Amino acid sequence: MAEPLHPLLQRQLRRAGLGVDGLADRPDGWSALLQHVHRAYAEHDQERYLLERSQDLASEETARLYAALRVERDQLEGRVLDRTTALQLSEARLSSLLSLSADWVWEQDASLLFTYVSDGIRQASGIDPATLIGQRRQPAEGNADEGPGWAEFQACIEARRAFRDFTYRHPAPGEGLRYICISGEPVFTEAGEFTGYRGVGRDVTQATLAEQMVQELARFDSLTGLPNRNMFLGELDRAMARSRRHGDPFAVCFIDLDRFKTINDTLGHAAGDLLLKTMAERLRLTVRGSDMVARLGGDEFVTLLEHCGEMADLTQVAEKVLLAMAEPISVQGCSFLVTGSVGIALYPRDGDDAAMLLKHADAAMYLAKERGKNNVQFYTAELAQQAAQAFEIESALRLALARGELVLHYQPRVNVQSGTLQGMEALLRWAHPTRGMVPPGDFIPLAEERGLIVAIGRWVMNEACRQIRAWRAEGCAVPRVAINLSARQFADTSLNKDLRETLRRHEVQPQDIEVELTESVLMAEPEHANEVLRHLSAMGVHIAIDDFGTGYSSLSYLKRFPADTVKIDRTFIQGLPGDADDTAITQAVIAMAHSLGLNVVAEGVETAAQLQALQALGCNEAQGFLIGRPMSAAAIGLRLQAG
Ligand code: C2E
Ligand code: MG
Ligand code: MG
């Protein structure tokens, strides 16, 4: 039996009024046609089914994919949100840190044009960051001359290297020049392509200016603004190197103001400062711009004259300097004349190192002072000879000390009224094998200058104590012995200790010793002097002020020192009794000394008339040729035994 016709075909046949049953048995071609249509309908159904099925499948897949995508999107969104929050936090942190610090951040593109500069630069340097965007880093004029710094920095940038703490000067409108310190590093893409620099900046203007000031102070004299000794010595070294290369000699002029100390002491420091400043300015204007004028200290100036050619030219320059200095100067409403003395030494003739040149120019300057001030002297063979002689004496003196050629002579001091022996002054002599007895004036200044005096002074101390003990061993009554102390000895910190040990060694009492000091020794360092004297005085050592009247001659300051005795200088005694001034001065000194409870000794008493005058004036003691010349220990020993 044939399968039933497709339902849709059956419905269409019925709608057309044709019965379905029996159709298949009709003989005409209907049956075949109907079978054909039926198959077509069935095939169509099959196709439609397949299509619909595949459509269903596709939409299910889409829904699944969509759901997965949604999950993924949600996750991504969450991550982005997290990241954004973190980024915002970190940005806030950075900007808050940046606003707290005085630094700023900058970025440049591959052409080194600024793409970003944080606002910090405005607060720190007064520079509007907007004005920098699209610009290159522009140094102020002159940076290129500031040594290798800028060039090195450029080389570092060219090499795309990182840099730290490079400082350059940046012109800031309305703010002047700012010193800016930057650190930075190059930025590269992952592929290694250079995209620019980024880094931080800092304004270091204040610190840099402060540092510059310190450096200035180290090289320049703060009072006059002239180069100081340090800078001068550096320049002197360079001048010597130049001269060695080119064979040109040059000159060092040592300039000292005459009587500066007097002016400073009488008019005060402010006036002294003004004087120095004026002189510095005059010196600067007198020499060529290329010649250096420096202040070595105090009233000592020095100039370095290169390309000076002949001696005559040098003399001319030096005389010009003297003329300029001698112009009247007005201080505190008064007009003064201050002159200078100039000493010149030549390189390489007069010395081949800085110390030697300065020393010789200084020696020549002293000669100028000796020759009446306000003049110029060159370092000469004669001066060289004097220096050589001094050296010779120094060596001989060292030997003398070792060989025992030094001796002490003793000069008696007596009571003016009774003539009884009150004391003796130990005076040093050098028993020179060929020159005979050399007086102390011929070698003590040199010993003082060369520092030998400390050793010599120790010898004197020891010898005096040894002698006191020896005399006593011979049964003599020995009065107090005075020894002279010079400035250098007095400044020596071991003086007290040395003296105490020497006394102990020879079993001599401090009361048996008197030390003599001049006013200038005391006034060189009054604080120190006072301390040393208080120690000595506390020990029981007597203290005498020697050569009184030749220095400050102020009795009132004597109150500050624990002195026992004042020795009036020989020059005042010489005028007694004829010279009214000398008499008045001697009288005044005696009266004032007595009012302070001091013992007064007259030095250099040579005549009976002088002694009489001193008796009349109430002087306590006298020392001098009239009473007795300085004599050997043996000679005075006889006198002690007799007395
Ligand atoms: P001074 O301490 O003022 O010593 C007095 C000087 O005057 C001595 O000279 C003495 O010989 C001299 N004189 C004494 N009476 C007369 C006189 O009637 N007429 C004249 N015209 N002169 C008289 P001297 O011995 O040549 O000593 C000179 C200076 O050398 C001393 O002056 C003293 O400052 C120093 N001196 C001497 N011995 C030493 C010493 O051992 N150490 C130190 N540091 N200095 C000493
Ligand atoms: Mg003396
Ligand atoms: Mg004296």
Distance CA 482, CA 427 (A): 9
Residue type at 43 in one-letter notation: E
Domain end point (choices 379, 408, 424): 379
**Do residues 466 and 585 both lie within one domain?**
yes
E-state strands within 540-605 = 542-548, 565-568, 599-602
Q: Which residue has the higher pLDDT, 475 or 266?
A: 475
Model confidence band, residue 141 (pLDDT cutoffs 50, 70, 90): low
336 C-beta neighbours (distance < 10 Å), count: 14
Nearest to 33 by CA among 47, 18, 50: 18
Backbone angles phi, psi at 364, to 5 degrees: -65, -35
**Do residues 402 and 327 both lie within one domain?**
no
Mean pLDDT of 98-103: 75
What range defines the domain where residue 317 resides? 220-379
The best mutation among 397, 427, 438, 607 to test binding of ligand 1, ranked by most ligand atoms within 8 Å of the C-beta, falls on: 427
State the angle between helix axes of 7-15 and 30-100 in degrees (0 to 180), rounded to the nearest 10: 120
CA torsion sign for 244, 245, 248, 251 is negative
100 C-beta neighbours (distance < 10 Å), count: 9
Judge whether residue 211 has pLDDT over 70: yes
At 418-464, the pLDDT tens digits run 999 999 999 999 999 898 999 999 899 888 878 889 999 999 999 99
**Do residues 534 and 574 both lie within one domain?**
yes
Provide the pLDDT for residue 24.
60
The best mutation among 438, 484, 499, 611 to test binding of ligand 1, ranked by most ligand atoms within 8 Å of the C-beta, falls on: 484
Distance CA 294, CA 435 (A): 44
CA torsion sign for 261, 263, 267, 272 is negative
Backbone angles phi, psi at 498, to 5 degrees: -55, -45
387 inside domain: no
Residue with tokens 């020596």: 492
Model confidence band, residue 630 (pLDDT cutoffs 50, 70, 90): very high
Judge whether residue 118 has pLDDT over 70: yes
Residue 141 CB partners (closer than 8 Å, separation 6+): 171
Which residue has the CA at smallest separation from atom 8 of ligand 1? 427
23 inside domain: no
> Which of these ranges, 123-132, 147-156, 506-515, has the smallest mean pLDDT?
147-156
Which residue has the CA at smallest separation from atom 16 of ligand 1? 604
Model confidence band, residue 534 (pLDDT cutoffs 50, 70, 90): very high
Which ligand lies nearest to the CA atom of residue 604 in the structure? 1
Provide the pLDDT for residue 311.
74
Nearest to 326 by CA among 252, 318, 268, 228: 318
Report the separation in Å between the CA atom of 578 and the middle of ligand 2, taken as the mean of its atom positions. Answer: 25
Report the separation in Å between the CA atom of 65 and the middle of ligand 1, taken as the mean of its atom positions. Answer: 125
- 492 pocket-lining for ligand 1 (C-beta < 6 Å): no
Token digits for 246? 């080119």
Supply the CATH number for residue 187's domain: 3.30.450.20
231 inside domain: yes
Distance CA 586, CA 598 (A): 14
Distance CA 585, CA 572 (A): 8
Judge whether residue 1 has pLDDT over 70: no
Which ligand lies nearest to the CA atom of residue 629 in the structure? 1
**Do residues 428 and 543 both lie within one domain?**
yes
Distance CA 532, CA 497 (A): 11
26 inside domain: no
528's enclosing H/E stretch is helix 526-539
Residue 446 and residue 390 in contact, taking contact as beta carbons nearer than 8 Å: yes
**Do residues 199 and 237 both lie within one domain?**
no
**Do residues 487 and 600 both lie within one domain?**
yes
Residue with tokens 């200790």: 497
- Nearest-atom number in ligand 1 for the CA of 440 is 30
Report the separation in Å between the CA atom of 425 and the middle of ligand 2, taken as the mean of its atom positions. Answer: 7
Which ligand lies nearest to the CA atom of residue 442 in the structure? 1
- 411 pocket-lining for ligand 1 (C-beta < 6 Å): yes
Report the separation in Å between the CA atom of 373 and the middle of ligand 1, taken as the mean of its atom positions. Answer: 29
182's enclosing H/E stretch is strand 176-188
Provide the pLDDT for residue 309.
67
Nearest to 602 by CA among 588, 590, 594, 584: 590
SS (H, E, C) 353-367: CHHHHHHHHHHHHHH
Token digits for 537? 């005085």
Report the separation in Å between the CA atom of 427 and the middle of ligand 1, taken as the mean of its atom positions. Answer: 6
Which residue has the CA at smallest separation from atom 17 of ligand 1? 604
* Paired residues of 548 in beta bridges: 568
Residue 150 CB partners (closer than 8 Å, separation 6+): 139, 143, 144, 168
Cα separation of the two ends of the chain: 190
108's enclosing H/E stretch is strand 104-108
Residue 455 and residue 394 in contact, taking contact as beta carbons nearer than 8 Å: no
Backbone angles phi, psi at 134, to 5 degrees: 85, 0
- 412 pocket-lining for ligand 1 (C-beta < 6 Å): no
Judge whether residue 643 has pLDDT over 70: no
Length of the chain: 643
Residue 302 and residue 342 in contact, taking contact as beta carbons nearer than 8 Å: no
Let me know if 410 is exposed, middle or buried by CB neighbors in 10 A (0-12, 13-18, 19+): buried
Provide the pLDDT for residue 271.
87
Token digits for 258? 């005459």
Q: Which residue has the higher pLDDT, 265 or 569?
A: 569
- 564 pocket-lining for ligand 1 (C-beta < 6 Å): no
Provide the pLDDT for residue 145.
46
Which residue has the CA at smallest separation from atom 11 of ligand 1? 630
76 inside domain: no
At 332-359, the pLDDT tens digits run 787 888 889 999 999 998 988 999 899 9
At 469-512, the pLDDT tens digits run 999 999 999 999 999 998 888 888 889 999 999 999 999 999 99
**Do residues 294 and 159 both lie within one domain?**
no
- 547 pocket-lining for ligand 1 (C-beta < 6 Å): yes
Residue 547 and residue 569 in contact, taking contact as beta carbons nearer than 8 Å: yes
Supply the CATH number for residue 445's domain: 3.20.20.450
Provide the pLDDT for residue 283.
93
- 143 pocket-lining for ligand 1 (C-beta < 6 Å): no
Supply the CATH number for residue 226's domain: 3.30.70.270
63 inside domain: no
- 422 pocket-lining for ligand 1 (C-beta < 6 Å): no
Distance CA 506, CA 500 (A): 10
14 inside domain: no
* Paired residues of 621 in beta bridges: 415, 601
Distances (CA, A) of 97 to 55, 90, 318, 397: 62, 10, 64, 75
Let me know if 414 is exposed, middle or buried by CB neighbors in 10 A (0-12, 13-18, 19+): buried
Which residue has the CA at smallest separation from atom 19 of ligand 1? 604
108 C-beta neighbours (distance < 10 Å), count: 24
Beta-strand relationship, 376-378 and 340-347: parallel
Domain end point (choices 379, 411, 430): 379
51 inside domain: no
CA torsion sign for 491, 492, 493, 494 is negative
Residue with tokens 């290169």: 306
**Do residues 308 and 406 both lie within one domain?**
no
**Do residues 185 and 273 both lie within one domain?**
no
* Paired residues of 105 in beta bridges: 200
- 199 pocket-lining for ligand 1 (C-beta < 6 Å): no
**Do residues 459 and 585 both lie within one domain?**
yes
Report the separation in Å between the CA atom of 281 and the middle of ligand 2, taken as the mean of its atom positions. Answer: 44
Q: Which residue has the higher pLDDT, 150 or 275?
A: 275
Mean pLDDT of 34-44: 89
Mean pLDDT of 381-392: 81
How many domains would you assign to the chain?
3
Domain end point (choices 379, 410, 432): 379
- 486 pocket-lining for ligand 1 (C-beta < 6 Å): yes
Report the separation in Å between the CA atom of 517 and the middle of ligand 3, taken as the mean of its atom positions. Answer: 9
**Do residues 339 and 426 both lie within one domain?**
no
**Do residues 207 and 231 both lie within one domain?**
no
